Structure 1
């Protein structure tokens, strides 16, 4: 038999979240803080994924071919997040999106990721290039020393594996930082 949500429960959760967009962007710890049970959180994760997929433009794969296209695609995704999350865009040779994965969720100021975890996922999806991204809940996309260090490690690992790092984009509240653009990767030979 299908479990039904108690009458008014959905309204109560929405009211606590403040808005639908805020609710859709919430992570597990935020949902738990709203009082969702593990079963409710599991069902909600499915709905979040359905929503994410349904809000993509058309059925074509998005093309991520520049820092601007990456920022434009990713910025709406991270709105309202209060924890850092680190993700991967696995891309084919034409820059078409093969997979969009969150690999790590941390605290308000940090998240951990290793090149091994990052490229294992990229290879799993058959990526020819991989784009790293993470958000700064403070709203300021200025990269930290740690951001610079992981970018260098990811670039090195990607070169060794033959899956170059396309970019590392740090997302703030209304703007982003592209390591590719800032460091002139396209002019390096």
Structure 2
């Protein structure tokens, strides 16, 4: 028996093929990368906020998708663009979405900046390029999460022989051994040194322990005619000079 006729038989039927092949809606961030690149190429880099500069960097590590949330998360986690680049790869990877590729690319940029700053002091007397020296130590240490003690070894012309990390410590202490500083200066035939360490708290004001340690190194170096030109303490808030403060 045939089924009874219904008005539904005359209703238009949906085109299933057309429904399945319909273009999905574009994501809200579609075209954002192109627009941001165009603004940057048109000379707008200096006007970009930090999160957009970070986005441009992340485009190379994350080829597809919206990286604006990741850029903002990194800035929220570390506080500034400089702090993001200065963070360790391990700390970067604590942020969701940061893998090895992102961490490596950001650290590579920081290393390039550090080497560029070092070039400014490597082929000229350090004493005569003091502004370049301060820029270099800030790039190297201002955003370090743990205290680090470095020594810049200089020759008779006050040109840089080596910049070496003598010790790494905790968030507020890096043990320093005056004999090790002097021994290394003798090995490098250095005539003078500049001591450098950072305060992860951000405040570069020297502590009483910093002053005592500096005096011990000066006393150990004096009999061997090794000059201690200065001791620089680096923080996010600036660089403190023992010489300028009258502490040595």
Give the structure-1-normalised TM-score.
0.71
Residues 85-116 of structure 1: CA deviation (Å, up to 9, x unaligned): 11000111222111111211111111111012
Question: How far apart in 1 are the matches of 2:114 and 2:135?
Answer: 15
Question: How far apart in 2 are the matches of 1:60 and 1:87?
Answer: 16
Question: How far apart in 1 are the matches of 2:180 and 2:221?
Answer: 12
Task: Report deviation, 1:123.
Answer: 2.5
| Contact 1:67–1:167 (Cα < 8 Å) also in 2 | no
Aligned to 2:140: 77
Aligned to 1:105: 168
Aligned to 1:56: 118
Task: Report deviation, 1:175.
Answer: 1.9
Q: Relative to structure 1, is the Cα distance of residues 144 and 28 closer, same or farther in structure 2, using a 3 angstrom cutoff? A: farther
Q: Secondary structure at the match of 2:222?
A: helix
- Equivalent runs, 1:62-141 vs 2, <5 Å: 62-65=124-127, 68-69=130-131, 70-141=133-204
Q: Which has the larger radius of gyration?
A: 2
| Contact 1:14–1:20 (Cα < 8 Å) also in 2 | no
| Contact 2:126–2:159 (Cα < 8 Å) also in 1 | yes
Give the structure-2-normalised TM-score.
0.56
Q: Secondary structure at the match of 1:146?
A: helix
| Contact 1:92–1:128 (Cα < 8 Å) also in 2 | yes
| Larger mean Cα displacement after TM superposition, 46-55 or 152-161 | 46-55
Question: How far apart in 2 are the matches of 1:84 and 1:135?
Answer: 6
Q: Secondary structure at the match of 1:171?
A: strand
The question of 1:147 aligning with 2:235 is answered no
Aligned to 1:164: 227
Structure 2: runs of 5 or more not aligned: 1-60
Task: Report deviation, 1:136.
Answer: 0.8
Q: Secondary structure at the match of 1:56?
A: helix
Task: Report deviation, 1:21.
Answer: 4.1
Aligned to 1:3: none
Residues 31-63 of structure 1: CA deviation (Å, up to 9, x unaligned): 6867989xxx99x98986565324434695253
| Contact 1:67–1:178 (Cα < 8 Å) also in 2 | no
Aligned to 1:181: 244
